[in-house]
Amino acid sequence: MAGNLQNLFARLKEKGSQSLKGNGSAGKRESEVLSPFRVIVSKEISDHIRSWRFIILLAVIAMACLGSVYVAVANIGEALKSDDPENPFIFLKLFTVSDGTLPPFFVFVSFLGPLLGISMGFDAINSEQIKGTLSRVLAQPVHRDNLLNAKFTAALYVISVMFFALGFLVMGVGLIVTGLPPTAGEFLRVVFFIIISIFYVSFWLNLSILFSVKFRQPATSALAGIATWLFFTVFYGIIVSVVAKAAAPSETATTQQVVSYQEFILNLLRVLPSQLFSDATSTLLVPTVRSLGPLTMEQVVGTIPGPLPLGQSLLLVWPQITGLIAATILCFILSYLSFMRREVRSR
């Protein structure tokens, strides 16, 4: 937020008072529309869109996603030959097909989405305090929680618009190249994939805002966010591999013991937000996925292979979606409580 926000509040207050003197009820409606929360949200959206870091990250994500779509379009013919010719979900292969040179679209989102969330929230609060604008803004008729809520709302709005634009851009490219429009089921699956991607990036956004509230220096909060991302991306998998090797069952273990061991390792991996996102998106974009855990022979025998309806796919990944939403809400609550107790005077 720039330093002229205080002058903006003053002009809005003066404009509202003049309107109240002039026409009464019309001025009251105008003052309600120009509330401090909406002013901060619009100002934050403008700052995000004009910032170079957002423009650079948007360009990187857009080029990576378009590159993955190009690879998917180039290899969609081979993918259709190897799959069931009666598979109706051809359009979804634009988001999942790859020849190994570039990852699929949803993998790029899983890898670059956290960087976008961290970059948009690591200096949300501490940069205002360093500039001395935080105490001046809160000296205006602005509630403290409105400031934090507006910061999150503005970033969430920008992220939502960006992901919906990228998702519909991919669908538009696929429509032009293949000449086949998506079915209603495919369109809804892509929309749910975009919504889950927004939840995934929102978790990292709230985590970076929490670090921005906890640490006074933006560089420290940025390093904390990147360190957390690196731990979950690289080091946590190494730790799980060590635990899996140490807890591996013997060759004489029963089937139930092997299944319990695999479920234990999967539960350890599902602590990762990226694993929750990968499970949810792969199930939605690949309707033939019928289970996210180990299956015994009793569960396999008698089943009829085929794609799941959208409702069943959502029911299958509902725990993953709930986990992402719960983690996002938890980070927001922690940052909210910390900010409400924080000393905002500049030092």
Q: What is the pTM of this model?
A: 0.83
Q: Are 216 and 297 in contact (CB under 8 A)?
A: no
Give pLDDT tens digits for 278-288. 888 888 888 88
Using 70 as the pLDDT threshold, list the residues of the chain that sit under it: 1-34, 76-88, 293-305, 344-347
Report the amino acid identity of residue 34.
L
Helix, strand, coil percent content, the chain, rounded in steps of 5: 75, 0, 25
What would the pLDDT profile of 2-35 be if each residue is shown by its tens digit?
445 555 445 545 544 444 444 444 444 444 446 7
CA distance 10 to 245: 64
Tell me what pLDDT residue 300 has.
Answer: 46
* Burial class, 45, CB count within 10 angstroms (exposed 0-12 / middle 13-18 / buried 19+): middle
d(CA 132, CA 6): 11
Core vs surface per residue 204-222: b (16+ CB within 10 A) or e: bbbbbbbbbbbbeebeebb
Structure tokens at 212: 């921005």
Q: Where are the domains of the chain?
A: 35-340
Q: What's the count of helices (H) and strands (E) in the chain, helices before strands?
A: 15, 0
